[in-house]
Structures are given as structure tokens and as C-alpha cells.
Amino acid sequence: MIHSISNIKRSKRDYIVKSFKRDWQLYLLMVLPLIYIIVFKYVPMGGIIIAFKDFIAKKGIWGSEWANPLFKYFIAFFNDFNCMRIIKNTLTLSLYGLIAGFPLPIIFALCLNYFKNRKIKKAIQMITYAPHFISTVVIVGMLMAFFQTRAGIVNQLLSSIGIAEIDFFGTRGTFPHMYVWSQIWQSLGFSSIIYIATLAGIDPSLHEAAIMDGATKLKRMWHIDLPGIIPTAVILLTLNLGRILFVGFEKVLLMQNPINLNQSEIISTYVYKIGMTSALPRYSYSTAIGIFQSVVGFLLIIIFNKISRKFTDSSLF
Amino acid sequence: MNYKERGSDKVFTMANNILLGILFLIVAYPLLYVISASLSDSNAIIQGRVKLFPVGFNLDGYKAVFSHGSIMTGFFNSFFYMTVGTLVNIILTIMIAYPLSRQKLIGKKVISLMLVFTIMFNAGLIPNYLLIDTLDLIDKRAVMIIPKALNVFNVMITITYFKTTIPKELLESARIDGCDDINFICKIVLPLSRPIIAVITLFYAVEHWNSFFDALIYLNSKSLLPLQIILRDILVQNLISLDMVSSIDPDTLQSSEKLAVLLKYSLIVVASAPLMVLYPFIQRHFVKGVMVGSVKG
């Protein structure tokens, strides 16, 4: 017995040595990318230690004193009068974006799927993808140009149907709507790609059989196409739910002004302001808030993935 | 398929096409408006006479854009970051994606897990900033390229593509002919992977061309700034210096203000054009590359 176990061990080691000898070029190739991953992804994770220290730049990460109590900066965050407001704003923006934006690409894909003319179909796809490639800065610039008071097209269209001019950027309460709907405008075509491809992959014999049985198009859409894309939709939903605390940071930052700040300050912009732009940057505090955001996001992904695996057959990992 | 549309199907088709048309118009109209406005007379824009097509056709806005010093500097900087950055991205992505796509590689699982974890958890703004500071990359050109050398999501797509499209038998027969791994990649894998390379090229190029925040926090020197930062100053913060406008029309402040309105629309077009031009070339690879890769990556 003992003899055979050591034999197995030896043969396993031989196997490893042999495959290293065989695949050494592959390992060599991975060295550079792995160095990148370690340096730029994992080393900063070590840096989150400053959330537990009274970080002073001159003393460095290791030279700085431990915070007392250790969770000082986390406690400070939960006691911050901004805390509830920025969490609420973050959740509002992302949930609003999700509820309004999630079904539309599916609807768009379903509609396109029943559109006959191939050439026009291609053209529609091309044009609706285009906004995806416009940068956030330009999108915000467009919003500002369109929603201007005098020369903006939106107000000009409103006044042509007799509605008084609205100062969209200078009015409270307009921010979430402009943010979310411009997001939907930008992503509609591109988000639908995956659904369009899934629909194209549905077995045509299902449709043929349904037609033989006398099913209407509406029925086929409901009983064949929709169930066909649900697994894809669930995966995407899971991904989106996991990112619920990560609202489009750049766009919010660019759209902020003193008037909408009450609604537009989100966790990420707060982290940025506290850590980078204030006269006295508070690195430890800012990092603590960032960790809160990352940990909650991470847990959400795990939880939603578990749920989606339980109720459907699809999961991310 | 040959069958007759029945009454309810006709209604369905009509409703379907109407809904599709509405969604399409909503997406397309702002795009058309921007292009029309950029080609119009500035008075026509301000007075609201531009609705659909250009009114008082002229190219003053584009002249202003192309004679503006910092816009051009930004344009060339962005172009540099995009081309060099994307090249680095592609090379590194293939270097790690191919080995991880091989079935029998020992340690593959651990490395994959290490990669996936970075998608789900990241250190946050300050630790990343401190790292860049420690590496002495602040205000260097390299800061726009090296920290973004690899995107794990794109690596995942590429792995799946390799797994599903490069048959095992190919490797076996290449081995018998005495081909080593590096030769196999260069001579067999790469030529077979044009769709996925096209797609990740597009993804990376978009990321570089549109990147704004890195430049905001890591760059100071005016000569290094990418286009997006210049765009923010002009489009969002309304900082249009008069000297650049005056080169076209030195008459009055009012006329330069008018030109500023026009210039914004032209700028939006110019800033977005490079990617729009790139996209159609890559589109035909899209379904093959992206779909094979992203479904259960």
C-alpha cells in the first residue's frame, strides 16, 4: 500500500515536470500579463490597508499609524451626514436606470427580429449602435447643448408646441431623468446585440412547428422567442445588479452642478472629491468608503449569482 | 417559409414596425441633428431654424475646430494613446488568453480565478492613485497606456473564442510536424482569430479614445492632454478662449459667441468620427467574434 501511494505521488510529480517541460513556452508567454495583473490589480488591493490607518503621505503606507479604533473611518462614514444621501442617490440612479433600461433592448431586439427587410434591418442596427461609441464627455456635451435654455433644440421643440421654456440643468429634480434616459439612448442599440444574436440562434424548427399548429406571431414571440432569451437576460441582469453601486461615475461627475448636487452626489463622486479634489485630501476616509462600495458590490454579485443559479439554469460562474 | 399572414398577424406586424420605427427615430434624431447643426449657419441654430437638415450650409464650425491649437494637440495625443495602447493591449491579451485556453495547462484554474476576481473586486480610487504615484507615472505619457495594458473582460472573451474555434486536432498535428507553441500561435492561431482580434481591437480602441478620467487625475501638462479633456473644457465647462475664435471672425464678441455654439456641434462630430469610421470595418466580424466569446465567458 505505502509503496503504491508513493508511486502515485511520484507519477504525479513526473506528470507535472513533464507538462512544465512541454508547456514552458506557454508559461513564459503568461509572465508579462501576470506581472501586469499583480502589479496593477493586486498590489493596490494591499493598499486598501490605509483605510485602517491614519494615512500620512510622507510616512508611507507602512509607516503610518493604525487608526484607533481600527474601523474609525468606516464608522465616520456611517455617521457622515452625507452618507444616507449618497447611498440613496446611488441606488436611485442605478435602480431607475435598470428598471427603465433593462427591458428596452429586449423589446428592441424582438421588434427587429420580426422586421422583414434585411437591408433596412442592417441599417437600423448600424445607426442604433452608433451612440455607444460616443464618449461620455461628448454625451454630456450633447445633453447640455440640447437642453440649453435659448438655443437648445429641446426647448425650441417645446416652444413650437406651446410649452414654456424649461431650464433643465438649472432646475431641481431633472437630473435623474436626464441621466437615465440619455444612458438608455446611448446603450439601446448596443445592448440589444446580444439579444439579437440569441434570437438568431433559436432553433427555426420550433417556429415551423408553431406555424403548423397555427400559432400567431404574437404567440410565437411570447412562447418561443421570449423563453429563448431569458437565460441571457438573467445573466445580464445578474451582472447589472452586482454593479448597482457603481453608477456611471464619469457621467455623473460631468453632469454635476451646484443645483443638482443634492440628487447627483453618489458614492463614487464623493470618494473622488474627498480623496482627490479637496484642499485637504482625506485618503484613509476616501479609501474606506471605496471599500464599502467594492465589498457590497462583490457580495451582491455572489448573492445574485446564487439566486439566478437556483431559479434558472444560467449563472455567471 | 411560405404561408399567408392572417389578420391578427398583420396587426402584429404593423404594431411591431411602428414600435421599431419609434425606437429608431428616438435614437437617430439626435445624431442627425448634431450633424445638421454642425453644417448650419450659427444664427439658424440659435433661432431654432435647424430642425432636420442643415440650414444655411457652411463649414465655419469645422474650420474653427481644425484651426484650434489645443484641439489638434489633443486629437494627436488621443490618436497616439489609442494606437500604441491598443497594440500593447492586443499583444498582452493574446499572450495570456491563448495559454489559458489550452485544456491541459497545469495551474490554469488558479490563474483564471485570479483574473476573474479582479473583475468583481477592485481596490478603489486612492490605492490605485498611490500606486501610480509610487511608480512615478504621474504626468507621463506612459500613464495613459501601461495601467490599462490589459482588460480582463476582453481576455475572457478571447479565451472562449480560442477554446471554441481552434480544434485540438490542429495542435496535435502541428506537434507531430515539430511545431512548438510559439510557432503554433503565430502561424496557426493568429490567422484563424481575425474576428476576435478585430473585436477586441475595437473595444480597446474605444476605451482609449474615450478615456477621460485617467487623464483628469494623472496628467497635468497641457501638451500631453488627450482630446477628451479638451472636450470637457469646451463642451461641458464652456471654456472657449476667444483667441481661437477670433482667428475666424474678429469683429465682435457676439459673433464669436455665436461661432462657439456652432463649434460645439462640429467638435462633437469630429471627436466621434474616428470610431464611427472604424466600426463598419469591424462590424462583419462582430457576431462571430463577440457572440462566440461572450456567451458564458
Do B27 and A127 lie within an 8 Å CB cutoff? yes
Specify the pLDDT at position B26.
92
Do B279 and A129 lie within an 8 Å CB cutoff? yes
N- to C-terminal Cα separation, chain A: 39
The span from the CA of B297 to the CA of B293, in Å, is 6
Q: Which positions 70-99 of A are in contact with B (Cβ < 8 Å)?
A: none
Query: H helices then E strands: how many in chain A?
Result: 17, 2
Specify the pLDDT at position A288.
93
CB atoms near residue B129 (< 10 Å): 21
Q: Quick check: B13 pLDDT over 60?
A: yes
The DSSP symbol for A53 reads E
Instruction: Name the residue among A218, A185, A231, A236 with its Cα closest to residue A111.
Output: A218
Specify the pLDDT at position B1.
47
Does residue B295 sit in helix, strand or coil?
coil
Q: Quick check: B4 pLDDT over 80?
A: no
Do B12 and A249 lie within an 8 Å CB cutoff? no
Do B106 and A20 lie within an 8 Å CB cutoff? yes
pLDDT tens track for A154-187: 888 888 888 888 888 888 888 999 999 999 999 9
Q: CA of B283: which chain A residue's CA is closest? A: A126
Specify the pLDDT at position A202.
84
CB-CB neighbors (< 8 A) of B294 in chain A: 194
Interface contact B285, partner A, CB < 8 A: no
pLDDT tens track for A18-70: 888 888 899 999 999 999 999 999 999 988 989 888 888 888 888 888 888 88
- Of A10-24, A86-100, B184-198, B264-278, least confident by mean pLDDT is A10-24
Q: Quick check: B294 pLDDT over 60?
A: no
Percent of chain B past pLDDT 90, that is, above it, reads 41
pLDDT tens track for A230-245: 888 888 887 788 778 8
- Of B46-60, B120-134, B155-169, B221-235, least confident by mean pLDDT is B46-60
Cα pseudo-dihedral B114, B118, B122, B125, rounded to 10: 110
- Of A259-263, A290-294, B239-243, least confident by mean pLDDT is B239-243
Across chain B, mean pLDDT equals: 85
Interface contact A48, partner B, CB < 8 A: yes
Instruction: Please report how the helices A175-200 and B7-38 are oriented relative to each other, as an axis angle in degrees rounded to 10.
Output: 130
Do B96 and A34 lie within an 8 Å CB cutoff? yes
CB-CB neighbors (< 8 A) of B45 in chain A: 151
Domain boundaries, chain B: 1-58, 61-283
pLDDT, greater one: B112 or B240: B112
- Closest partner residue to B116 among A39, A156, A317, by Cβ? A317
- Closest partner residue to B123 among A47, A159, A268, by Cβ? A47
**pTM, 2 dp:** 0.87
- Closest partner residue to B236 among A19, A232, A254, by Cβ? A254
CB-CB neighbors (< 8 A) of A301 in chain B: 120
Mean per-residue pLDDT, A274-303: 88
C-alpha cell at B33: 441633428
C-alpha cell at A237: 441582469
Specify the pLDDT at position B251.
56
Specify the pLDDT at position B2.
47
Instruction: Name the residue among A256, A137, A207, A31 with its Cα closest to residue B99.
Output: A31
Instruction: Name the residue among A75, A101, A98 with its Cα closest to residue A240.
Output: A98
Max alpha carbon distance in chain A (Å)?
Answer: 94
Does residue A54 sit in helix, strand or coil?
strand
The span from the CA of B187 to the CA of B166, in Å, is 13
Asked if residues A152 and B48 have their Cβ atoms less than 8 Å apart, the reply is no
Question: Which residues, in sequence order, are bridge partners of residue A53?
Answer: A66
Interface contact B147, partner A, CB < 8 A: yes
The span from the CA of B169 to the CA of B175, in Å, is 10
Q: Which positions 19-48 of B are in contact with A (Cβ < 8 Å)?
A: 19-20, 23-24, 26-28, 30-31, 33-34, 37, 45-46, 48
Interface contact B122, partner A, CB < 8 A: yes
User: With bands split at pLDDT 50, 70 and 90, how would you rate the model's confidence at B297?
Assistant: very low
Question: What ipTM goes with this model?
Answer: 0.86
What CA–CA distances, in Å, run from A105 to A100, A101, A229, B32? 10, 7, 12, 21
DSSP string covering A154-184: HHHHHHHTTPPP--GGGSTT-HHHHHHHHHH
Q: Which residues of A153-163 are buried (b: 16+ CB within 10 A; e: fewer)?
A: bbbbeeeeeee
Superfamily of B61-283 according to CATH: MetI-like (1.10.3720.10)
The span from the CA of B114 to the CA of B31, in Å, is 41
pLDDT tens track for B88-116: 999 999 999 999 998 888 889 999 999 98
The DSSP symbol for A131 reads G
Specify the pLDDT at position B244.
52
Does residue A65 sit in helix, strand or coil?
strand
CB-CB neighbors (< 8 A) of A215 in chain B: none
pLDDT tens track for B257-266: 777 888 888 9
